[in-house]
Each structure stands twice: as structure tokens, then as C-alpha cells.
Amino acid sequence: MNTSAPIRQPCPPGACDCGRDPLLETPGADVRILFLTRTEEKRLIDRLENLTSLQDLEHLQRRMLEQLGIRVDIVPSFNEVRTMRGIGIHVGELPGLCRKTRAAIPAAIRRAMEKRPEIAYEVLNANDLLRDA
């Protein structure tokens, strides 16, 4: 009996630059990202939108890296941070990661920070907000 985990369906031709097919054809390639199906992606985005603290965000960052290989870096801008746009949220390049998912993850984290500004303040404090004081 061969039961394997479901993998993500391919994007329409020309709609995405994820590189799913070459990833599947490469022997020994890290295909963990393909286990992020559309329903699992919706659950992840919902979870990211409902963050409660910086510790919760850091926990999700670790889990995404461990389970899917997705690296998410969150750093304040070198200049002033006046809005949530001033906090840089970068999703690392990963073969097999859909461009829509690559854009949805930072957007969900920003929405969570807008709901709970204390998360943004904690990110700023963790990155040495008061270094010149």
C-alpha cells in the first residue's frame, strides 16, 4: 500500500514562475514545498493573519522553515519606520514556491501587525529600536 502526501496542483501555464516541474524531475531535490496544497496554504495564511505575539510569529517562522523550507526574514527599514510598510518582510527564493504564495505570506503578516501593533513594536525592539538613545 503506497500512500503519499498530496502535492500542490500545477499552476496554469505561463501564470507562475515557481519551477514546480523541474523540481519534480530532479532526483534528490527538496520537494517539501510541494506539500503546501491550496487548502494548507489557506490555513497557513489564516494562521499568519491571526498572530498574537512576536513569539507566535517566530514560532511560525521556525515551523515554515522546518516543514516547508520557507525562510521568512522580518527586519525594519534602515530609514525610519512610520507605517507597516517600513518593516521589510522577505520570503526567500525557493524552487516550487508559487509567486502568489510568495506575495500572500508578507501581506498576511502585515495584516496581523495592523491588527496587533504591539507585534510590530516588538519587532522594532528586537531589532534594536533604541540603539541611539
pTM of the shown model: 0.84
Give, for all 133 residues of the chain, the pLDDT tens digit.
444 677 788 777 777 777 777 777 888 878 888 888 899 999 999 999 999 999 999 999 999 999 999 999 988 766 655 556 678 889 988 888 888 899 999 999 999 999 999 998 888 887 765 555 4
User: How large is the greatest C-alpha to C-alpha distance in the chain, in angstroms?
Assistant: 64
State the DSSP H helix or E strand holding residue 3, giving kind and residue range, or none if neither.
none
Phi-psi region of 49 (alpha: psi -120 to 50; beta: other; left: phi over 0): alpha
Report domain extents, the chain: 20-126
Distance CA 36, CA 97 (A): 9
DSSP-derived letter for residue 76 is E
